[in-house]
Amino acid sequence: MREDLPACEDPTLPNCTPTPQDLDVQDGTMGDNGGEDERIDSGSTVAEAAAASAAAARAAATAAAHQLTDLDDDDTDDAFIRALEQASLDEEGLPEDILYCLRFPEAPEAIVDKDILLSLRLYLSLHNTSEQAYKDVREAILLHHPDHAILTWHQVKAKIAEITGVMSLACDMCIKSCMAYVSIWASLEECPYCREPCYDQEVLKASKGKIKRARQEFHTVLLGPQLEAQRSLAAGQKIPVYKDIIYVNYGPDLWYKKLHILPGGTIPGPNKPQNLDSFLFVGLHHLAALQQEGLRVWDAIERAVVDNNPYLLLGTADGPGLACLNGFVGHHDNYHVSGCTHEDIDVGALLPPMSPEQYTNGLLTVLSARNATHYEELRKATGIVKPTLFSGLS
């Protein structure tokens, strides 16, 4: 995925590349400069020393990450949380036009081109069919109206990405789904869990180390551009987007309508992530940056730029999924219940909430574990596994 691009030097940045949602990126074209910057004289002592130094730095970074996973990843969790607390939009590698729109929103231009409108209506009416179906209908229209500039499949998807604000960051991940190469892991070249290499080794070898093509990637759909696009269009003009993030600036009767639910991204398989926080980090980093800087949007109803302060109201998941989000012990933990003496619990009643003080004290207790055995004892005693990534948000 990251062909012809240097490794990220800032340890807080994700190893990510922005792409329009679902658009194809041709291999070897991103950051292409004809190879002028990458030609190294094989006889140059300076070049050889630089290459050796870079290799040593990568090895040291990988070794450090291996050490972090020896017990319970506490150092990794803290690094992720600190990165969220200091998040900035400038760190996300966003295209200049997207970054400018987030900070200096303007009223969107009305779509008056009839060919573009026809292309959009055609695409939306065929959204449950195949790419080939769109191409066949487009070809049929052009046979009868050859002078019409009907957008191609990829052109219409790019236009919809522009209108809806649905653009994604494609980030490198472990081929076995263990973790994502973000934050302190951005510069690693192998997974700290399974030791699988990040990059396609055949491509890396054939290009003499110049082309680093990730073996697997995942996509995060950024929240800010979507909220800007939604607020900037009148209700009747909104193009529906789907699932994962619920925008609750509506009444309860509208919260779960597809029109008001924004996509948050996808994590492909084949396995359950070993470190889910690394996959959530990119989207939460963007939200944290918006909380730090504020989100200015053009409001179509007010016909003016208004300031917003986005915040996370709540996160939901099933039982096992929620344990991954909040850092608590899940329902499947092996508790010994023989001879249990506590009173029966009414499953129909709400459990008493844990106060912030109780959580903080319990977390500090868990983090004081002397070794793995002690950690297991404290984890079961407190019900806390690790610091939650969400504590890095405002």
pLDDT tens string, the chain, 394 residues long: the values are 444 333 444 444 456 665 544 433 333 333 333 333 333 333 445 445 544 544 454 444 444 434 443 434 667 888 999 999 999 999 988 888 888 889 998 888 888 899 999 999 999 898 788 999 999 999 999 999 999 999 999 999 988 887 777 778 899 999 999 999 999 999 999 999 999 999 999 999 999 999 999 999 999 999 898 888 878 876 534 444 333 454 556 666 766 677 677 778 888 888 999 999 999 999 999 999 999 999 998 888 888 898 888 888 877 777 777 777 888 877 655 555 566 666 776 767 776 777 888 888 989 998 888 888 998 888 888 888 888 899 888 7
Dmax (CA) for the chain in angstroms is 82
What does the pLDDT read at residue 84? 94
- Asked if 385 and 72 count as a contact pair (C-beta separation under 8 A), the reply is yes
Question: Do 140 and 67 reside in the same domain of the chain?
Answer: yes
What does the pLDDT read at residue 63? 45
What does the pLDDT read at residue 15? 61
- Residue 78 domain-assigned (yes or no): yes
- Asked if 262 and 164 count as a contact pair (C-beta separation under 8 A), the reply is no
How many independent structural domains does the chain possess? 2
What domain range includes position 84? 1-31+55-313
Distance (Å) of CA 257 to CA 227, 230, 241, 253: 15, 14, 10, 8
What does the pLDDT read at residue 228? 86
For residue 137, with 0-12 CB atoms within 10 Å meaning exposed, 13-18 middle and 19 or more buried, which class applies? Answer: middle
Question: Do 339 and 247 reside in the same domain of the chain?
Answer: no
Question: Do 335 and 287 reside in the same domain of the chain?
Answer: no
CA dihedral 390, 105, 165, 279 (to 10 degrees): -20
CA dihedral over 297, 303, 304, 309, signed as positive or negative? negative
Whose structure tokens read 């052009």?
Answer: 142
What does the pLDDT read at residue 161? 81
Question: Do 217 and 341 reside in the same domain of the chain?
Answer: no
- Residue 223 domain-assigned (yes or no): yes
By DSSP bridging, strand 265-266 and strand 261-263 are unpaired
Choose one of 313, 344, 369: the last residue of a domain: 313
- Residue 110 domain-assigned (yes or no): yes
What does the pLDDT read at residue 17? 61
- Asked if 257 and 366 count as a contact pair (C-beta separation under 8 A), the reply is no
- Residue 219 domain-assigned (yes or no): yes
Read off the DSSP letter of residue 36: G
Residues pairing with 246 in the sheet: 261
- Asked if 332 and 267 count as a contact pair (C-beta separation under 8 A), the reply is no
Instruction: Quote the CA–CA distance of 1 and 16 in Å, as a whole number.
Output: 9
What does the pLDDT read at residue 162? 79
What does the pLDDT read at residue 239? 40
CA dihedral 123, 126, 127, 133 (to 10 degrees): -90
